[in-house]
Every structure is written in structure tokens, then in C-alpha cells.
Amino acid sequence: MNTAHQDNGNLTVGSTVLSLLEKMGVETIFGIPGVHTIEIYRGISKTNIRHITPRHEQGAGFMADGYARVRGKPGVCLVITGPGMTNVLTAMAQARADSIPMLVISAVNPKSNDQNELGLLHELPDQGALVRQVAISSLKVTKSAELIPALKNSFAKMLTGKPGPVHIEIPTDIQKLLSDFNPEDANMAYEISEDQLDHSIIANIADRLNEAKKPLMILGGGAKACNQYLYELIEIIGAQAITTINARGLLGDHPLCIPASPSLACVRQKIMAADVVLAIGTEFGKTDFDLYGDGGFPPIQYLIRVDVSEDQLTKNVKPNMTIKSTATKFCDQLLREIKSRDFVPKEIIQLKVHNQIIQEKCLNEIESKLRDPLDLILRLINHFPEAILVGDSTQPIYAGNLYNNVKKAGHWFNSATGYGTLGYAIPSALGAKLASPISPVIGIIGDGGFQFTSNELMTASDENIPVIFIVWNNNGYKEIKDSMKIERIFPVGVTPKPPNFKLQAESYDLSYYLVENRHDLIKIVNTALETEMPAIIEIRETTY
């Protein structure tokens, strides 16, 4: 098991990986070392990269995800082959569904590719085939000269078009070869190709919007980067803008923004009434547009779709016009075009008033069982406008996904959409805090989801990452229990006994607070934030 390569200036391929990554701007990596990756770890002392060790590779993946969302650059994981790889799959799939750039570097056994089974440690025949189902690319480095191109290609792939998780596997024998390059001299610049926009289409879109009486925008996660243009754009066009879950926070408190789900009837009415809908960076995914699976998403009179990814342009809802572009470039050009002509500004005062009515309607539409959970979310947003809220699949998050007026782009994200996994919020919130240490970060999780990854609270304590975890305790998988009731199924497997949260916090050296009722919430969160220690705040649904 032990191959004693001395650090004598002749660098091994494995030991250069982290230096190369540092050159590409990587500051933090998440990983659990093993015999199959130690040659890569050899290189870490030559860098300033911070290494975070989670308690499970699933934690590493979710941390990288949260980190990427907040930092705006790829989150990086380093895992062993076999179980390290399979442990991180769920996180990669969540990142894939939400278009989050994530790089997973793994080892692989030298001979166990191509279905060859020899019973090697951690053997996983055809690891690449498996990972390709969740990654947008998976490359194997088969010789020293392939490492740098693999890294550049993977970064380009992550950042061109629709982002997503990528994977590079480096066989253990290749890791130990002497490298044929010096990382200090390596040129790690990579190209991101951008499509040229066809001016006539932009002009065409501008015409349409100009003529429209009731234009409307729908902003998805792909629009996150163009926030700066959006304010001006909606005002000139006179369009209200609906934000999907992953776009929530775009346009902040702007009175033309409708931060509510297109699964709600009143939002759908709005969409149906619009004579032109300009949709940017959204796949019209079911977890936003047809949450209840009622198939009731209305026909759109005239739909213009903007997306970086070709196949996204026609998914789910048929467009009348499409344009393949990054959101930023498109908004920039459209704005120039509009400003260059005598655009008739729409009357928006009326719209603003109308917008308030819509927001109220949304709130009224929210079913009664989600009222208390929503109250929690809205209180947090109103009192902690700077906070990043990271959520799990739990009732307060479902409520907030239906409606919330979070103030900043990127300050609301969760795993209740897309892949819809549990146990995301704890590790992801840790990643978010590492990405932005000055922002207050609040993880929101149910008592059931909590138990999926509660081991990562130990990482919070070990690495001293002061995140606040709000546990919404309703004694079980409430959402599933409710569904069983509706389906007339005798409840089974939906009341996992929760731990004693106070003692669990204590055992990990975290602070603990119990919110007796909603009026204590803000005071307690404030106290917890002030101590600058990670903390668990328990809320019991029945007393809230």
C-alpha cells in the first residue's frame, strides 16, 4: 500500500493536481482522503488551498454545491474511487438538476476499467459510465500529458453553456508517475466560447416587446448573473417579472417583481393574460411550473425563450421564438437596442399597485398547513435581509418556494426542487458560509432531513463554521404522512424518532436554543448570530 515517493523535486502527477487547481482560482476543497488519493494530497502543502474534511463524502458534495452557489465559482471535491465516488453521487445529481458548477476529482483503480474485475480495493468496474449519468462530463487521465487538458476542458465545460458537475478520474498508477511538466510553468488559461448574437433577432424581440400591451418576464436560475440589467429592463419594458425558486432574490424588493411560484393559480392567470412572455434561463421544470402535478400550466400567447443551452430552449413548453445566449449578453444587447430607439415606456404605476394585489393573492392561496412554516420564512427574511437561507426538503421551504420576497439574488436556495433530496441543508449551508464568511447563513431543515446528514454538524464544530441551523420539528416526515393520509394509506415509516436536539448540539459543542413561539424567533436568532458559533435552533411546530 505504501509507495514511498520522496519529495525530491521530481513531482508526481498526483502531487501537481492541487497546484494546478490553485492556479485556476480554487481556494477551498472538500474531501476525505484515502490510500487511493494520498498522492494527490501530497501536493496540498505547496498550496494555500483550504481543505475541509466532512464526515461523509455526501457532505463534501453538498458543501461544494453550497460553496459554488454563493462564491460564484466551482466547488471542488476530492474523493477516493468506489465508495467515495458513490457517496458523492446524490450531491452531483442535485447540482446537475440545479445547474451548479462542481468539480469532483476521484481516484480510480489502474486495471479495473473496462469491466475488468479483479477484486481490487474499492473496485468499481466502469466508474465513468456510472458517473456520466450525473455529471455533464467525466474524463479519465491516462497519462501525465492529459492532466492539464483535462482540467482546462472540465472548467470550460462547467462554465460554458449550462453549468453542471464534472468529473475527472485519475488512476492510482498515473498519480504516481513522474509528471512531464512543472505546475509553476503551466498555462492554465482556458477559453470559454460565446455565441455571437444575431442582431436581427434582438431587434425583433425589441419590436415585440414594444408592441406588447401586457409583457411579462419569467426569470430562472440561468438569469442569476444578469441582475444588474434587469432593473432597467423591466422598467423600460413595463413588465412584471416572475422568479423561479433558483432565481428568487433577483430584483430584490422591486415592485414589479412577483417572487412566487408559477404553480399558483394567480401567477398562472398572470402568465395566461400576458401577450408576450420573455423567459430567461428557465427550463420550465415541473418542480417550479407544475409542482402539484395537475398539468394546469396555462398556454402562453407568445413565448420568447433565452437560454445558453440549445436543448433547454424547447423543453417542456414550446416557444414562439428562441435565442441561444448567456443571460448577461442577451440582456445587455437588448437593453442597448431598446435604448437606441424611441421605446414607448409603459405606464408602470398602475402595474406596481397591481403587483401588490397579486402578491397578496399568492399569500392567500397558500394552503393553511403551510401558513406557519411560511411565517417563519418571512420573519427571517424581513429581519435578516443580509442572511443567506439554505433549505432542505421540508415544509417551511415548500412554503417559501411558493412565495418569498428574499432581498438578494443567491440568498435563497434549497433541495426541494429538481433532484429533491434530503439532508442537503446542513452541509450546503456550511459550504455557503465558507464562501461568504461575512454573510449570516441560516440552514433550514426538517427533523427528518436533519437525520440524513446530522453527522456534518461535527464538521461545523471542528472547522468552526458559524452557521445557524433551524430545525423545524413536526415529529416526522410530515409531507409524506400528509400524502399517505390523502391516499388513504395507513402511515408507515414516516415517524422516525428524532434525536434530542439539545443533547445532540451539546455533544458536538454547538449552541442550542428552543424557540417557544414565533415571537421569540428573532431575538434568539440574533443571539445565536452574535455568539459567532454554530448553533441549532429548534422550533416545534405545535408551539410555534
> What are the residues binding Mg ion (CB under 5 A)?
446-448, 474, 478
44 binds, among other proteins, ligand TPP, Mg ion, none (CB under 5 to 8 A by kind): other proteins
110 binds, among Mg ion, ligand TPP, other proteins, none (CB under 5 to 8 A by kind): none
Report strand pairing: 321-324 vs 468-473: unpaired
Least distance (Å) from Mg ion to the CB of residue 448? Answer: 5
What are the helix (H) ranges across 238-348? 265-273, 286-289, 327-340
Q: Is 90 in the site for other proteins (CB under 8 A)?
A: yes
Residues lying near ligand TPP in the complex (CB under 6 A): 32, 34, 57, 80, 83-84, 87, 392-395, 420-422, 446-449, 472, 474, 476-480
* Residue of 333, 359, 405, 453 that binds other proteins (CB under 8 A): 453
List the interface residues with other proteins, window 133-162 (CB under 8 A).
133-134
Least distance (Å) from other proteins to the CB of residue 288? Answer: 8
What is the rounded CA–CA span in Å between residue 258 and residue 299?
19
What is the rounded CA–CA span in Å between residue 308 and residue 314?
12
How many beta carbons lie within 10 A of that of residue 493, not counting itself?
Answer: 10
List the interface residues with other proteins, window 293-312 (CB under 8 A).
311
Q: Distance from CA of residue 189 to its chain's centroid?
A: 26
Least distance (Å) from other proteins to the CB of residue 343? Answer: 34
Q: Is 121 in the site for other proteins (CB under 8 A)?
A: yes
What is the rounded CA–CA span in Å between residue 23 and residue 14?
15
Using a 10 angstrom Cβ sphere, with 0-12 exposed, 13-18 middle and 19 or more buried, the burial of residue 542 is exposed
CA distances 516 to 14, 218, 541, 544, Å, are 53, 39, 10, 7
Question: In the stretch 241-280, what mask flags binding to other proteins with x, by CB under 8 A?
Answer: ----------------------------------------
CA distances 71 to 20, 52, 322, 417, Å, are 20, 16, 30, 21
Least distance (Å) from ligand TPP to the CB of residue 79? Answer: 7
List the interface residues with other proteins, window 311-340 (CB under 8 A).
311, 315-316
Q: Reduced to 3 states, what is the DSSP secondary structure of residue 8?
A: coil
Q: Which amino acid, 540?
A: R
CA distances 109 to 31, 93, 103, 112, 459, Å, are 18, 23, 19, 5, 29
CB closer to other proteins out of 112 and 355:
112
Q: Is 285 in the site for other proteins (CB under 8 A)?
A: yes
Q: Look up residue 36 and give its three cell numbers.
A: 487511493
Q: Look up residue 240 and give its three cell numbers.
A: 412584471
Whose CB is nearest to Mg ion? 446
DSSP 12: B
Strand order in the sheet with 240-243: 257-258, 240-243, 215-219, 276-280, 303-307, 321-324
Whose CB is nearest to ligand TPP? 446
Least distance (Å) from Mg ion to the CB of residue 447? Answer: 4
CB closer to other proteins out of 77 and 202:
77
CB closer to Mg ion out of 222 and 476:
476
* Residue of 23, 28, 130, 204 that binds other proteins (CB under 8 A): 130
What is the rounded CA–CA span in Å between residue 497 and residue 367?
27
Least distance (Å) from other proteins to the CB of residue 460? Answer: 11
395 binds, among Mg ion, ligand TPP, other proteins, none (CB under 5 to 8 A by kind): ligand TPP
CB closer to ligand TPP out of 479 and 509:
479
CB closer to ligand TPP out of 32 and 460:
32
Q: Is 454 in the site for other proteins (CB under 8 A)?
A: yes
CB closer to ligand TPP out of 83 and 499:
83
Q: Is 97 in the site for other proteins (CB under 8 A)?
A: yes
CA distances 389 to 56, 372, 544, Å, are 23, 17, 19
* Residue of 11, 13, 17, 44 that binds other proteins (CB under 8 A): 44
